[in-house]
Each structure stands twice: as structure tokens, then as C-alpha cells.
Structure 1
Amino acid sequence: MRLVIARCAVDYVGRLTAHLPLAPRLLLVKADGSVSVHADDRAYKPLNWMTPPCTLTERPILDAEGEETGELLWVVENRKGEQLRITLAEVLLDHEEALGEDPGLVKDGVEDHLQELLAEHFGTFGEGWTLIRREFPTAIGPVDLLGRDAAGATVAVEVKRRGTIEGVEQLTRYLDLLNRDELLAPVAGVFAAQEIRPQARTLAEDRGIRCVTVDYEALRGAESDELRLF
């Protein structure tokens, strides 16, 4: 991973255009090729980003006489021709660190088993629903379950033991990325948990995410052979 702190301006050139004026920001370049631009707020959400596969080229900016100005230009481009053009006026920190292979998220045993059960019985969410795969990868982590509803539309399911606002935010980030993929979009969200906090349910429903409270013991078959959702 490469971490660069710089005074920079960012322009997105693609289906739309967007501009971030000159300001100090953190630039993350990951081993998978993704590039993201962060401010010192907004928690985990970047101001702008480019997901892999993409290329990064870096070159000095020249003035009218062909002399280097001391500024750098990063051009991050994906296969669709969309670009992030990052102008670095002043580099304050440039550090690279090899993190190695990540072991992945170790989930609570019940939560992991709940995900496994819902993958095996994906029709629990609706008649005719089918699973595409578990742990569907994205640039910011895997979606627990990805599938299709009876009409063939893509659905992403985030599974939690206890559903909180943080879980809704996590699913929202996944949906934002998945809906950029023309082969998957539009992607709807399902937030599934044994217990969903009222604030989390309100936030999810406000964002168009369906909430499903799951009976873990019923899924295990401890109480009945019938699968139930409440």
C-alpha cells in the first residue's frame, strides 16, 4: 500500500464531471490497483475513488517553456476510459508499505453460521430467489451474499447477528460500488439479522434497503423443519 499526503486538486472525467479544489488530502494506492482520495473527516468514505482494474501514471507538470513546475499529475484510468486526474501541488508524505496477504474478517461463530444457512436456503428471502455466491468481492471487502430475486434482479445481502447503523452503512457502501458495475446494476440491498435496532431499521428503510429479522434457531431446524422469517 502507498500512502501519500499532499495538497492536491482532483478532477473526475467520465460520464459526469466532478472537481475537488486544492486542499490537503490523503491518497491511498492499494496493491489491487485501486486509488482513493480521503479528507480528514467523513470517517471511512473517500471523497472520490477508482476501483480496479485501472492504471496509474505519474508525471511532472511542465510550464509553457517546458520547465518542471514542481507539481505532479496522477492520471488514474479504468477500462471504460473514466479518469481521476489528481494534481499534486505539494507532497507532504509519500510512504509505501507491503501489508502482505490479509487473513480476512473473522466473524462471530453464530454470524458466520447464519450466513452459511441463509446461503443454503436463499429462497428464505423470497420465492424464486437464487444465490450467485457467498463473500462476493468488492474493492472495500466482500458482500456476504449476492443473489437474484424472482425477477432476475441482483440483490446484495449483509448478514449480522445484531443489526446496527454501522451494518447499514457497510451495506450502503457495498451497494454504491456494486451499482457501478453495469453487469450487476441495479442492485437492491437486504439487511438480515437476528435483531435489528430501531435506528438501523429506520436508516435502512430510508435508503431503500429491505430489513429482514431472521430466526436463527428455526434456520438450524432446532424448532421446526419450516424456515421462518419474522
Structure 2
Amino acid sequence: MRLVIARCSVDYVGRLTAHLPLATRLVLMKADGSVSIHADDRAFKPLNWMNPPCTVKEEPFTEHGAIAKWTVTHGKSGEQLILTVFEVLHDHRHELGVDPGLQKDGVEAHLQELLAEHITTLGEGYRLVRREYPTAIGPVDILCRDASGGTVAVEIKRRGEIDGVEQLTRYLELLNRDPLLAPVKGVFAAQEIKPQAKVLAHDRGIDTVTLDYDALRGIEKEGMLF
């Protein structure tokens, strides 16, 4: 991971355009190719970002007091994140190694177990391939097949937020490179799914399922929520 603190302005050019005026910001460049721009607030949410795969081109740029221009280009869409750098206050690389992945709490782990056991909750004809399907960036909660034999990757959360959709998106990008699995579609399943997460998921062609934990445990209720 590369950590850069710099005075910069940022422009996003693509389906939408956005501009961040000159300010001091943190730039994260991760080994997976993602780049994100952070301010000293907003908790963990970046001001703007580019998901992998992408490339970064750094070149001198001396107009209007700037010293460099960094152009981040997405490898598939061609969209760009352009950083105009005026001063670099910190620039350091860290080797973090392989992360063991998130250890789910008891409810999430049990949801995964229950959904795997009752995989037809997702639809008639679904069948389980395996839980914790390994990938180079971490295990997919559930890999299964739908009624037509298509591959489905399922990410399970207790509370479904945008980060979970981003995580599933990364899994799907990787799984779809495997000709034995592709095409792979995604399902984002949680007890509660935030409206913003649901909008992002549907925009990326990912289905969402709201799980009733008690119903999966066999407690009689009015039914599942979808």
C-alpha cells in the first residue's frame, strides 16, 4: 500500500464528472490497483475513488503552481481520476502482506450456515457449491448454482451497506475471469440493507435479498422479506 498526503485538486471524468478543489488530502493506492481520496473526516468513506483494475500515470505538470499530475485510468471503462498535485507532504509504501480476512460475528456466521443449508431461499432450483469459496482476495461466503446452472456468488452481512456491495463487486470481477465459472452473478444478502447499498447493487446488476434470521432458524413468522 502507498500512502500519500498531498495538497491536490481532484477531477473525476467519466459517466459523471466531479471536482474536488485544492486541499490537503490522503491518497491511498492499494496493491489491488484501487485508488481512493480521503479527507480528515467522513469516517472511512472516501471523497472519491477508482476501483480496480486501473493504472496510474505520474507526470510533471507545472501550470498554476502545480508540480505533478497523476492520472488514474480504469482498465475497463476508461473513466479517469485526475489528481493535480501542488505539494507532497508524505509519500511512503508499506508491504502489508496477505490479510486473513474478516472474521464474521456469530450472527453473520450463523446466517451463512443457515442460508447454505436452505439455499432455495434464494430461489427454486438453487443448489450449493460450497461455503467460503476461496479467492486470491478472500473467501466468498457462498458459491452456488441457480436453476439454469449459472454460477452465483453470495455475500452475507448482518447489516448491508455500500462497503459490502463493493466487496462483492471485487469478488465478482475476480470470479468472472475464471472460464469455468463465468458468467458469475451476485447476490447481496443481509438482515437489513441500506437504501444506498440497494441502489448501488442494482446499478451493478447485483440482486439483493433481505434475510429473516428467525425464519431461517425455523421460528414461525409471517414469511421472508425480499
Which range, TM-score by smaller chain? 0.5 to 0.7
- Distance (whole Å) between structure 2 residues aligned to residue 99 and residue 206 of structure 1: 28
| 59, 71, 75: which one aligns with 1:75 | 71
1:164 corresponds to: none
1:106 shift after superposition:
2.3
Mean CA deviation greater in 105-114 or 20-29: 105-114
- Distance (whole Å) between structure 2 residues aligned to residue 189 and residue 112 of structure 1: 15
2:8/2:84 contact within 8 Å kept: yes
- Distance (whole Å) between structure 2 residues aligned to residue 135 and residue 35 of structure 1: 27
Identity %: 54
Going from structure 1 to structure 2, the CA distance change for 1:214 and 1:94 (only over 3 Å counts) comes to same
Task: Determine which structure has more spread, i.e. the larger CA radius of gyration.
Answer: 1
- Distance (whole Å) between structure 2 residues aligned to residue 104 and residue 212 of structure 1: 23
The one-letter code of the counterpart of 1:51 is: N
1:174 corresponds to: 164
1:6/1:89 contact within 8 Å kept: yes
1:24 corresponds to: 24
Root-mean-square deviation (CA, aligned residues, Å) is 4.1
1:5 shift after superposition:
1.0
1:204/1:210 contact within 8 Å kept: no
- Distance (whole Å) between structure 1 residues aligned to residue 9 and residue 128 of structure 2: 42
Going from structure 1 to structure 2, the CA distance change for 1:50 and 1:4 (only over 3 Å counts) comes to same
Task: Tell me the SS of whatever aligns to 2:61.
Answer: strand
**5+ residue gaps, structure 1:** 161-166, 193-199
Task: Tell me the SS of whatever aligns to 1:45.
Answer: coil
1:40 corresponds to: 40
1:58 shift after superposition:
0.8
Going from structure 1 to structure 2, the CA distance change for 1:147 and 1:76 (only over 3 Å counts) comes to farther
Going from structure 1 to structure 2, the CA distance change for 1:63 and 1:89 (only over 3 Å counts) comes to closer
1:37 shift after superposition:
0.7
- Distance (whole Å) between structure 2 residues aligned to residue 26 and residue 98 of structure 1: 18
- Distance (whole Å) between structure 2 residues aligned to residue 14 and residue 128 of structure 1: 39
| 104, 115, 126: which one aligns with 2:101 | 104
1:52 shift after superposition:
1.3
| 81, 87, 92: which one aligns with 1:90 | 87
TM-score (norm 2): 0.67
TM-score (norm 1): 0.66
1:100 shift after superposition:
1.0
